[in-house]
Amino acid sequence: MRATLSRESLQSLMEMQHGPCISLFLPTDRTGVEGPQDQLRIRRLIREAESLLRGKAQLHSAQVEDLLEPLRALLDDKRFWRHASDGLAIFRSPQVFRAFRLPSSFKEQVVVGDHFSLRPLLPLLTFDGRFYVLALSHNAVRLLACTHDSTSEVKLPEQVPASLAEFLRGEERANELQSHSSASFGTVGKGGRHPAIFHGQGVGIDDEKDDLLRYFQHIDRGLYDLLRDETAPLVLAGVEYLFPIYQQANSYPHLLEQGIAVHTTMRKLRTQEVLSSNPHSSTTISSRGNTTAH
């Protein structure tokens, strides 16, 4: 009865045209703490389905009870409620009864019709389940490779600076070398002396936003070789004011507009914080790789 969502299972549900078909969606608590509340939601949706079956579908009482019996049986299935996720999708027709525990928090709803309502599931199957999270702050950069239920840290190329301070130090050294080189080969001034060069006098000092933009551009260039053959979505994580600055620097075509707002240091970003903000739950990714945040 509890099934795994795949393109094949979705296709089989799409082919079911022998109604009435009941599609039921609700958010659930993956910790299990609010299990009784989840069961109350199902009871409410079952009553709504019963009303629709008797009214819209005009079924007799025996037919209604036959369709709803396995849904009601879930309420007493302790093993079923032991394995929670962020959302629950249930499909029932005279020939089908399938329930999917999914990492997406659905809007509570029930639909009765001649075929199943599958639109809420589509964002979960628009790509192969992989995505990247780029965790950004002034003090750290991390890249995480993620699936629906796991994360692993990706080793960054050497050219990706470890922090804004490190980037600025490297930039300052490069500027000094360039300045001294220009002075060494430049025009000799009056009296045979080179023109004087002054550092740190306010000339060319950018504000924080400009520093961040150059820092993010350097990160983007460093990630290019790593991600150039990828099509998986990239999600930003960090304080929200950094997102539009990185988006300005970004060249990766699969960056999502919606990021993960995290109020912690990037070095301590926990797996659960990433998974609880899974982009599948709020973003549709087209076959061309374009992204639309809802």
Sign of CA dihedral 83, 89, 93, 98: negative
Question: Whose CA is closest to 240, among 257, 215, 252?
Answer: 257
- Per the listing, tokens 């300052």 go with 172
SS3 229: coil
pTM here is: 0.47
Distance (Å, whole) CA 245 – CA 212: 7
User: At residue 287, what is the residue type?
Assistant: S
User: At residue 89, what is the residue type?
Assistant: A
252-286 core/surface letters (b: 16 or more CB in 10 A; e: else):
bebbbebbbebeeebeebeeebbbebbbbbebebe
pLDDT tens track, the chain, 294 positions: 556 677 678 778 887 767 799 999 999 887 767 778 888 999 999 999 999 999 877 888 999 999 999 999 998 888 888 777 888 999 999 999 999 988 778 889 999 988 898 878 866 765 566 788 999 999 999 999 887 667 889 999 888 998 999 998 888 877 776 665 655 555 444 444 444 433 444 434 457 899 999 999 999 999 998 898 887 888 899 998 999 999 999 999 988 877 888 765 555 555 545 544 544 443 333 222 333 232
Helix extents (H) in the chain: 7-14, 35-55, 61-74, 78-81, 164-185, 208-227, 243-249, 271-276
